[in-house]
Amino acid sequence: MALDQRLADLLRLLQLEPLEVNLFRGESRDIGTPQVYGGQVLGQALVAAMRTIEGRRCHSLHAYFLRPGDFNAPIVYDVDRSRDGKSFSSRRVVAIQHGEQIFHLSASFQVDEPGLEHETPMPEVPPPDALPDFEALLQANPDRVAPFAARLLEHKRPFEYRLVDLPSFLDPTPRPALKRTWFRTVGRLPSDDPDLHRAILAYASDANFVDTALLPHAPDSRRLQMASIDHAIWFHRPCRVDEWLLYVADSPSASGARGFARGAIYSADGRLCASTAQEGLMRLR
């Protein structure tokens, strides 16, 4: 079966070009956002770090978005091999565009080993097949979609989303800061490589995440300035991003023109695969 073009484009985006030892270049892509989508830089930086590691898996990463990325230009990733120990390795990746740092990431890798285990149970939610498709909701309600969101519709995404909770453009009433979404890639990936699935999970984890902090406020989008400040992921267990995953996000705090969100990503059979956290600018102009 032929690979969906949207998935082929995503895989090509994550296939970095080696320039020199520890130095890689990635393409940028316009997906309808004003600047490079943060998940793209997250995924590419993680791939760059992975290219310098053998026999170890990323278990956590912490990143800062420093400047908006230009999707009309490539991004260079410079990897610092900070440490290789007996069980753990550490890498730092700096993303450079037009001669300036736009992003940096620290990632830790570990040799696979057994140990004590527990996990928070997955909340009870309807299955994805019983829920509305996000893109279908957008297309069915064009008059209720903000101009910036309408531009996103022009670009086909490599993921499908099923919403447990109504999106704010259909229900703008202030409500608790909780968002639950099923997601997966639009087709089966051609590889079982856990590193590939981790990189794509990093890519997907930034989508509409810190927006959770807006739900109690319902601000006028014309007055709102938003931007990701940082992002963190902890990979707990392997998962496939071409099978349904539940992203549960909440926001315990907003203050100082910043909103904070945290997330848990579960496989359909209830395993906690990853945890995320992000703070973003939420400035009313």
CB 57, CB 44: distance < 8 Å: no
Which residue, among 231, 222, 220, 184, has the nearest Cα to 6 in the 3D structure? 184
214 DSSP 8-state letter:
G
171 catalytic? Reply is no
Tokens of 61: 């990463």
d(CA 226, CA 230): 13
Other C-beta atoms closer than 10 Å to the C-beta of 15 total 11
| 199, containing H or E segment | helix 194-205
DSSP 205: H
Could you give the CA distance from residue 201 to residue 220 in angstroms, rounded to a whole number? Answer: 31
The C-alpha atoms of residue 159 and residue 183 are separated, in whole angstroms, by 7
- What Rg, from alpha-carbon coordinates, does the chain have? 18
And the tokens for 207? 């989508």
Under DSSP, the state recorded for 37 is -
Per annotation, catalytic residue among 78, 206, 211, 242: 206
- Catalytic annotation on 106? no
Using a 10 angstrom Cβ sphere, with 0-12 exposed, 13-18 middle and 19 or more buried, the burial of residue 41 is buried
Options 205, 228, 251, 267, the catalytic residue: 228
- Under DSSP, the state recorded for 252 is E
Token pair listed for 115: 């140990």
Q: Give all strands of the β-sheet with 258-267 in edge-to-edge order.
A: 17-20, 23-26, 75-84, 88-97, 100-110, 57-65, 224-235, 272-284, 258-267, 245-255, 178-185, 159-163
206 catalytic? Reply is yes
Positions marked active-site = 206, 228, 278
